[in-house]
C-alpha cells in the first residue's frame, strides 16, 4: 500500500519532471497524493515538514530534483 502510493507520487514527478526541474532545480520536493506540496533545501527539512503535515501514516514522497 505504502509502496503503491509512493510509486504513484513518483510517477507524478516523472510525468512533470521538466516543469518541476525548471521551477525547483536542486530542491527536495514533497509530493502527496500526486500533488506538489512544497520545495526545500535539504532532505531533512523536507522529511521533517512531511511528518509535520501528514503524521506518521501518510505516504508522502521526498524527491531530490536534479559488503553486499
Partner 1 sequence: MINTYRYGGSDKVEKDGKKSIVQILPSVVLNQMGAFIKVTITHPRIVQENFKEQGKSTPTVSVNALIDTGASGTVITPHVADQLRLIQTGFQKVSSVQDEQQRSVYYGFIIFPWGSGKEIPIVSCPLKNFDCLIGRDVLLHWHFTYNGPDGSVVICD
Interface contacts to partner 1, rule CB under 8 A: 2-3, 6-7, 10, 43-44, 47-48, 50-52, 55-56, 59-63, 67-68
Minimum Å gap between C-beta 58 and partner 1 is 9
Edge-first strand order for the sheet with 35-40 is 35-40, 28-32, 61-64
- For residue 31, what is its C-alpha cell? 509530493
| Helix 2-15 and helix 17-24, axial crossing angle in degrees, nearest 10 | 80
Minimum Å gap between C-beta 22 and partner 1 is 21
Q: Angle at CA 50, nearest 5°, toward 27 and 65? A: 20
Q: Which is nearer to partner 1, 7 or 23 (CB)?
A: 7
Q: Which is nearer to partner 1, 23 or 44 (CB)?
A: 44
Minimum Å gap between C-beta 15 and partner 1 is 16
Amino acid at each position: 500500500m505504502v509502496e503503491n502510493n509512493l510509486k504513484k507520487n513518483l510517477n507524478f514527478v516523472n510525468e512533470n519532471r521538466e516543469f518541476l526541474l525548471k521551477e525547483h532545480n536542486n530542491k527536495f520536493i514533497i509530493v502527496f497524493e500526486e500533488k506538489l506540496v512544497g520545495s526545500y533545501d535539504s532532505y531533512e527539512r523536507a522529511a521533517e515538514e512531511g511528518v509535520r503535515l501528514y503524521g506518521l501514516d501518510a505516504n508522502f514522497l521526498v524527491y531530490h530534483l536534479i559488503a553486499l
